[in-house]
Structure formats: structure tokens, C-alpha cells
Structure 1
């Protein structure tokens, strides 16, 4: 068994299934963002360095897992659709339909960059698939951007685990700090959004798209 600081279920998957186990763990991480990709990927690299799987297999399977997880969330967004999204937004406090419309406009301009670079940002690397599905980004484009962005992210951390060997867990400290910065910025953005809504409660009436 791989001796490490990783949760037992990750060790078990990799010990039992090898590279496909690492891919399955990453697919689950995409669906449940709190799961530790910063542990799974370097651990897969370490397992490769010990000969339990090839480095190529680790990279291919973890990238495949990323794509499968992202595709599932894309499907959630596609099933949700714009009308349901607007209906949900209309019921949320401090959220206006105009916010959804601005988000749609922004995604229309920057969606490809958001999907690609979002694969390298903790938490958002999973969540960005949902608006892509809601906006029905062409599936071949979504898959291409997701595969490329995920391959870059996975290669960096699998490669780091491979290079560090038994010291693979050092990677988690750097990724944890990066994640905390991202989450702190997201928290500040939410506070600013709420603050603007509370101090300008009458601005921007709720509205939807006019029916054609």
C-alpha cells in the first residue's frame, strides 16, 4: 500500500485500480469540489515514481476523470437551463434578473477563456461547467477547452508528485495557500456584491427577457 498523508479512500482506489482509480478520484473531485485534488494528483505522481502505474497512464486517466466530472456538471447546467436559472434567481434575496443577464453577456464574451483558465482555479475549476451548460456552449468546444486546461493543471501536479517522490505531500502546502487566496478573493467579491445591494436597494428592478 502507498504510505502517505492521503485519505484512506484515495489510497485504496489507487492501490486497487491503479491509474483508473486516480481518474475516478479526480472525477469525484470535480463533482464534489471539497475533495482534495491537491492530494490526489501529486499522490498519483508519487505512485508513478514507485512503478505502481506509468506516468503517462496517470496523466491520461486523471485528465479523463477531469473531463468526465466536468461533463456531468455541464449536463446539470444544460438540464437546468436559462428559464429555471432566472426563476431561481428571481426568488433569491439580493439577486436580480439583471445580474443573470449581465452574467450571460459576460459569458458570451469571455466563456472560452473562463472554461479554459477556470480549470486551473480551485473550486471554480468545477463550477465553471454549470454556466457553460446553461449557456449551451458547443459541446466539442467545451470538451476541447476542458481537456486542454485540465491536462495542463494535472500535468503540473502529477509531475510534481513524480519528481518529489516520497516528499510529494509538500505540493499540498503550496496548493492549499493558493486555494485560500482564491477563496478569500471570492469571499470579498461576495461581500462587495451584498454591500452594493444593501446600500442601493432600489436600483435595478427585476425583469426578464421580453417574449418574442
Structure 2
């Protein structure tokens, strides 16, 4: 058995244990934990919860409600972390990061001010960003009611897709993870390319400035 299969089995066993002990609430707890610790894959937990509903172990409506509640609770915890961090601490941290300029942070803030609502809503449906988007929302103090409603809507869509997939696929629920894994790799690849491109551009800018000073 390879490492990937072992990890899948470990996560699946943990999720099953929670659901057996707590019922639908267990599925919600698992998803809340997934928000706080992104390496826990919702792409496994949600279809598995759907499969449990198909088996009659849990109610389908119960699973949909509790997993969405778990998503919102996890997102609110990260929102709170961002609010605690605040703009002052964020600027202090940014000032210590090599290659990062305060102007970069200011541009990010301006972008979030214009597109924050869309970022929170659609971010709930993108791996990795599902968790991370809550932190800048907290830093920028997006109105809590708006953040909660956007998170609720985005999470309900994402969770429903995966729970229903597990429900209708039955014993083949794990197939969902394979396709979701491809999507996640694409997202990671795009992010990696963007970060590398940003680093290359910034290093070139620094070199030009040094050459200009030396000249």
C-alpha cells in the first residue's frame, strides 16, 4: 500500500470514527477541523459522509446541515485569527519578509476592498483558499454578517456537491477524491507558478536598482 492510500485510509477511519460516535455532528466536527488544518481533505470527508447517508447510517439532510455548520464554524475561527492579527501586525510581518514590499500589501488590501465578497464566496469552493480566505477577511474586518452569509452560501454549494456525489456513488465514493485531487493539483500548480513568477520579477527589479546605484 502506498503512502497516499495509507493517508486516505487514516483520514477515512478518523472521519468514520467521529460519525459513528457523534452522528451528523461528527461530520461537522471533521469539516470544521478541515478548515483549520487544510491538509485534512474535505474531498474525502464529504463523500464519505454522503456514503454513510446512502447506507442509512446518517440522514442526508442531517449531513448537509452539519457539514455546512462545520465549515462556517471553522471559517469564523480563522476570521477571528485574522481580526486578532490586524493590519498593524500584518504590516509588521510583511516588513520583515524578504522581497515583499509594503506597497504589495497595500495593493492586496485595495484588491480585497473591491473584490472581497466574491473572493470569500468563490474561495469556499477552491482547495487551499477555502481556509486561507477567512484570514484576510478578518484582517480587513469584513462585516461579520456578510462574511458569515457568504461563507454559508459558498460552503453549502461545495459541501452539497461532494456529499451528494458520495451519496449517489455509494461504495465508489472514493472516486470523487481522485477527480478532486486533480483539481487541487492544478490549483497548487497555478499558485506555484504565480509565486515563482513574482519572485523572479522582484529579484530582477532589485538587481536593476543595484546596478543603477552602482552606475
- 2:142 corresponds in structure 1 to 137
Structure 1: segments with no counterpart, 5+ residues: 205-212
Which residue among 27, 30, 34 is the counterpart of 2:35?
30
Superposition deviation, residue 10 in structure 1: 1.2
The alignment yields a C-alpha RMSD, in angstroms, of 1.4
Q: Which has the higher helix share?
A: 2
- 2:199 corresponds in structure 1 to 194
| CA distance in structure 2 between the partners assigned to 1:203 and 1:20 by the alignment | 57
Superposition deviation, residue 61 in structure 1: 0.2
Superposition deviation, residue 202 in structure 1: 6.7
Superposition deviation, residue 201 in structure 1: 1.2
Number of matched pairs: 201
Superposition deviation, residue 18 in structure 1: 1.2
- 1:63 corresponds in structure 2 to 68
- 2:212 corresponds in structure 1 to none
Superposition deviation, residue 7 in structure 1: 3.2
| CA distance in structure 1 between the partners assigned to 2:208 and 2:100 by the alignment | 12
TM (norm. structure 2) is: 0.91
Q: Deviations over 1:1-60 (max 9, x none)?
A: xxx945321111011111100000000000000101100000000000011111000000
SS in 1 for 2:206: coil
Q: Deviations over 1:55-110 (max 9, x none)?
A: 00000000000000000000000000001000000000011100110000000000
Taking structure 1 as reference, are residues 101 and 203 closer, same or farther at Cα in structure 2, changes over 3 Å only? Answer: farther
- 2:88 corresponds in structure 1 to 83
| CA distance in structure 2 between the partners assigned to 1:203 and 1:179 by the alignment | 36
- 1:150 corresponds in structure 2 to 155
The 5 Å alignment of 1:61-140 reads 61-140=66-145
| CA distance in structure 2 between the partners assigned to 1:47 and 1:203 by the alignment | 60
Could you tell me whether the CA contact under 8 Å between 2:32 and 2:70 is conserved in 1?
yes
Q: Deviations over 1:157-184 (max 9, x none)?
A: 0000000011100100000000000000
